[in-house]
């Protein structure tokens, strides 16, 4: 079988790899000159099965309303004259209840566990080195009231087989002594030893190189102009070489759309509507000044809802969600404030450990922003579209790195007519044994018309 994969982020490259493993011919198309140069480039670096939680919960609407007036809030809704944004927002509100939260967690954890196993298998098979640290993830709290809710959150994860446990400040400091300088602010935490961290860009680029070695055609620097459809089926994809300007059509037996946030407008061209909206996230990567004092355990800061991970001799801090369209600017006053907030927190938590100086002061912080492709449930869309031969693997939100390897493996299995071994609501696919609750959890992705997922 010949398969064309659109998008060379962690999702697209993982899909290509698993298709190659099953003996198929694969072409990967991406507008960038290499893999993982957009949303997969500089994320929080966490493989966080224990934090596979949807954004939508019963407290989210009030928090989002309050946060609208803070430029550094964890979730910032920036109203646009955009029907897609408001439609997504209404669907999101519909998920802000306890029953929906638990249904959605069940699927996100199922995919997370499956994906973590798939990642470990790929690493074992390939030996890819990507600054991997298997030290778990610690979540620290600086507010006693927030910490009171940690037990309930941990219990939800334990219900689905994730060993996230509540720990005292003293236990947390034994797990990660690098927090000692900030210890007087910490009231407690949670810890999951089975989670890990690593550089998604490095992993994805190395896996893409292995795909090429195994015969995949990697069409970098090619814009995806459109999918051409006839008779209810995808017939070819029109792409254009950015360097030569030459356009051509790619014909295949199957086409996979794994273009992150850009999946929605691409599929809209052929009448397929998907509830994916971009959430702008930020990160800062800072060189270490004192590596011996730097953390090895990846962490989540509860107050600011940001993540911190060590990547070799650098420290990555990432977070915030900004719902305001496809804006990728880093030079606006709002973007600068959000970037400054990340760096300022690193200096507060790990004083003197990383180079937090501004460029004007002689520092070299690497700021980045990317668009996280989010569904209202945070459950990604993996499976068939209503058009024959056209598949989707997108909508992973903040969990693209956590869910990447498993999403690629699962879609490769589906394309081959197999059934992935997990209880997950794949779109356009009948899943034997799924409960009514799981079916309801994926109702946002069910067809309400012939051309809608």
The CATH number assigned to the domain holding 202 equals: 3.50.50.60
Q: What is the pLDDT of residues 360-392, one digit of tens each?
A: 899 999 999 999 999 999 999 999 999 999 999
Q: What whole-number percentage of the chain has pLDDT above 70? A: 95
pLDDT of residue 430: 64
Give the residue numbers spanning the domain of 247.
1-65+73-132+197-277+372-453
Is residue 190 a part of any domain in this protein?
A: no
Q: What does the pLDDT average to over 226-244?
A: 98
Q: Is residue 236 part of a domain?
A: yes
Sign of the Cα torsion 17, 19, 22, 25 reads negative
pLDDT of residue 437: 30
- Residue 408 inside a domain? The answer is yes
pLDDT of residue 431: 46
Decide if 439 is inside a domain: yes
Count of helix runs (H) and strand runs (E) in the chain: 12, 20
Q: Decide if 171 is inside a domain.
A: no
Q: What is the mean pLDDT of residues 215-238?
A: 98
Q: Is residue 50 part of a domain?
A: yes
- 447 near 386, Cβ under 8 Å? yes
Give the mean pLDDT of the chain. 94
Residue 349 domain flag: no
Contact 274, 447 (CB under 8 A): no
Q: What is the DSSP string of 276-295?
A: -EEEEEEEEEEEBS-GGGS-
pLDDT digits (tens, 9 = 90+) for 133-169: 999 999 999 999 999 999 999 999 999 999 999 999 9
User: pLDDT value at position 136?
Assistant: 97
324 closest CA partner among 67, 92, 78, 91: 78
How much of the chain exceeds pLDDT 90, in percent? Answer: 92
Q: What is the mean pLDDT of residues 6-25?
A: 98
Please check whether residue 412 lies inside any domain of the structure: yes
Report whether pLDDT(52) > 60: yes
Quick one: pLDDT at residue 440?
A: 36
Number of domains in the chain: 1
**pTM summary value:** 0.94
Output the CA–CA distances (angstroms, integers) from residue 426 to 54, 327, 383, in the order listed. 17, 30, 5
């Amino acid at each position: 079988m010949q398969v064309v994969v659109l998008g060379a982020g962690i999702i697209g490259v993982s899909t290509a790899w698993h298709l190659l493993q099953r003996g198929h011919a694969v072409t990967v198309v991406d507008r960038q000159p290499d893999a993982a140069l957009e949303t997969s480039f500089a994320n929080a670096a966490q493989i966080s099965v224990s934090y596979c939680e949807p954004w939508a919960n019963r407290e989210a609407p009030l928090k989002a309303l309050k946060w609208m007036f803070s430029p550094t809030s964890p979730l910032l809704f920036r109203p646009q004259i955009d029907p897609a944004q408001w439609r997504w927002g209404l669907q999101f509100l519909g998920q802000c209840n306890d029953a929906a939260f638990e249904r959605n967690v069940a699927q996100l954890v199922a995919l997370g566990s499956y994906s973590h196993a798939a990642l470990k298998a790929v690493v074992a098979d390939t030996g890819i080195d990507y600054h991997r640290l298997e030290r778990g993830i610690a979540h620290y709290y600086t507010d006693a009231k927030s910490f009171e809710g940690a037990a309930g959150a941990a219990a939800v994860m334990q219900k689905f087989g994730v060993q996230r446990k509540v720990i005292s400040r003293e236990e947390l400091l034994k797990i990660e002594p690098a927090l000692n300088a900030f210890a007087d602010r910490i009231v407690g935490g949670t810890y999951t030893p089975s989670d890990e961290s690593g550089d998604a860009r490095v992993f994805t680029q190395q896996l893409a190189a292995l795909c090429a070695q195994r015969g995949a055609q990697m069409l970098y620097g090619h814009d995806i102009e459109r999918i051409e459809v006839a008779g209810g089926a995808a017939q070819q994809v029109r792409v254009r070489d950015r360097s030569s300007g030459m356009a051509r059509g790619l014909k295949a037996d199957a086409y996979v759309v794994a273009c992150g946030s850009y999946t929605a407008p691409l599929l809209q061209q052929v009448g397929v509507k998907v509830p994916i909206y971009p959430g702008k996230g930020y990160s800062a990567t800072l060189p270490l000044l004192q590596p011996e004092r730097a953390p090895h355990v990846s962490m989540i800061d509860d107050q600011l809802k940001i993540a911190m991970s060590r990547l070799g001799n650098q420290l990555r801090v990432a977070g915030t969600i900004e719902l305001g369209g496809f804006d990728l600017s880093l030079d606006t006053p709002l973007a600068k404030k959000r970037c400054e907030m990340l760096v300022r927190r690193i200096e507060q938590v790990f004083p003197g450990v990383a180079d937090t100086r501004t460029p004007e002061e002689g520092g070299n912080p690497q700021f980045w922003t990317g668009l996280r492709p989010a569904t209202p449930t945070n459950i990604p869309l993996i499976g068939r579209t209503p058009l024959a031969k056209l598949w989707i693997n997108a909508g992973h939100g903040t969990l693209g790195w956590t869910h990447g390897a498993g999403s690629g493996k699962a879609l490769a299995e589906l394309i081959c007519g197999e059934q992935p071994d997990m209880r997950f609501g794949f779109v356009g696919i009948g899943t034997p044994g799924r409960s009514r609750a799981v079916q309801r959890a994926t109702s946002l992705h069910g067809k309400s018309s012939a051309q809608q997922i």
